Amino acid sequence: MTSLRYAEALNRALREEMTRDPMVWLFGEDIATYGGVFKVTKDLLGEFGPGRVRDTPISEQTLTAMAVTAAMAGTRPVLEIMYADFLPLSIDALVNQAGVFDYIWGGQVSIPMVLRTQGGGGAGAGAQHSKSLDAFVAHIPGLKVVAPATPADAYGLLKAAIRDPNPVIVLEHKLLYNLRGEVPEDGGLIEIGRARTAREGRDVSIFATSRMVHLSLEAAEKLAAEGIEAEVIDLRSLRPLDVGAIVASVAKTHHAVVVNEGWRFCGYGAELSATIMEQAFDDLDAPVERVGAMDVAIPYSEPLEKTVLPDVEAIMAAVRRARR
């Protein structure tokens, strides 16, 4: 085990996979010479050269479509979309191409592409650089979507994503890049589609994604002082969803809170909530509580932004409502 920052863990995963397989190559805006705006691709240009670590023009729509066919034609592209807020420019290639070609062509193709991006608020980056658009991509059949919350998961899920024969979206979080944690020396692949129990508890289950996992753990510690033992499940894989882990936890605690940083209305939390109602209704002692961003654009002003985004207090309040 080594202690690495989240960004370093991603960097190591890329380096190892590029060393292992010469068909793995990286492209995106400012990923090579600049090393990536969050330094995830730092030093890789020098190690692998411009043929495999490629700066691109600012052309997200075409870059994403190129990843689809370059993957189909035998390479393993890893595309970085600098901000999740730019995903709408990529959406055509995801919803009309990456997710559907294998299906509408009768199972004849494999699209082993990875799209890495980062979202989330709390950095004062304003409405066009702060969103969590998890629901946009998790909505699409034929894709896999992961959202690592820890350095170990960032490392293991990115490696698994690169080796996966399907298109995989890796949703990182801008406030997690400096988070430090233990990462296995090598190997350490994490199966896509498996949730992780971040904290065990008997009274209520908190199902959280990405940075919300850490806020949920903090909330759980505080709630313990009130005598409420919360279980925190880090979903890790948004699609496919580990429904089994969700149902098992609800069967144990009989209370559920879902926490996702995206907008509540038609958001990823809504899907989680519906899944729990459909799959675990008989085990529930109370309605599912849902925590998410308020349904407004993410404002720049620090106090306003704090109000819009879910925080520890909001999660604690939701748990208390669920336990009432």
Between the two ends of the chain, the Cα-to-Cα distance in Å is: 42
Of residues 252 through 271, those in contact with other proteins by CB under 8 A are none
Select the residue interacting with other proteins from 65, 82, 228, 291 (CB under 8 A): 65
**Which residue shows structure tokens 């940075």?**
211
Q: Is 37 helix (H, G, I), strand (E, B) or coil?
A: coil
Binding mask 188-227 for other proteins (x = CB under 8 A): ----------------------------------------
Output the CA–CA distances (angstroms, integers) from residue 205 to 202, 268, 288, in the order listed.
8, 17, 10
Least CB distance to other proteins at residue 25 (A): 7
Least CB distance to other proteins at residue 102 (A): 5
Least CB distance to other proteins at residue 262 (A): 24
Q: Is 160 helix (H, G, I), strand (E, B) or coil?
A: helix
Least CB distance to other proteins at residue 28 (A): 13
61 binds other proteins (CB under 8 A): yes
Q: What are phi and psi for residue 194, nearest 5 degrees? A: -120, 125
165 binds other proteins (CB under 8 A): yes
Q: Is 36 helix (H, G, I), strand (E, B) or coil?
A: coil
C-beta of residue 186 within 8 angstroms of C-beta of residue 149: no
Least CB distance to other proteins at residue 160 (A): 14
Identify the CA nearest to 141 among candidates 234, 269, 241: 241
74 binds other proteins (CB under 8 A): yes
Least CB distance to other proteins at residue 32 (A): 13
Select the residue interacting with other proteins from 40, 67, 149, 258 (CB under 8 A): 67
Of residues 114 through 143, those in contact with other proteins by CB under 8 A are 141-142
The answer to whether residue 60 is catalytic is yes
> In the structure encoding, which two tokens stand for residue 58, read together?
């600012």
300 binds other proteins (CB under 8 A): no
Active-site option among 16, 17, 80, 129:
129
Rounded-to-5 percentages of helix, strand, coil across the chain = 40, 20, 40
Burial of 128 from C-beta contacts in 10 A (0-12 / 13-18 / 19+): exposed
Select the residue interacting with other proteins from 19, 62, 128, 178 (CB under 8 A): 62
104 binds other proteins (CB under 8 A): yes
Of residues 81 through 100, those in contact with other proteins by CB under 8 A are 92-93, 96-97
Output the CA–CA distances (angstroms, integers) from residue 27 to 93, 116, 221, 247, in the order listed.
16, 10, 41, 39
* DSSP type of residue 288: P
C-beta of residue 205 within 8 angstroms of C-beta of residue 113: no
Select the residue interacting with other proteins from 3, 20, 33, 103 (CB under 8 A): 103
Binding mask 6-45 for other proteins (x = CB under 8 A): -----------------x-x--------------------
In sequence order, the 6+-apart residues with CB closer than 8 A to the CB of 269 are: 258, 259, 260, 262, 290, 291, 292
Binding site for other proteins (CB under 8 A): 23, 25, 51, 56-57, 59, 61-63, 65-70, 72-75, 92-93, 96-97, 101-110, 141-142, 144, 165-166, 240
Q: Any idea which residues carry the catalytic annotation? A: 60, 129
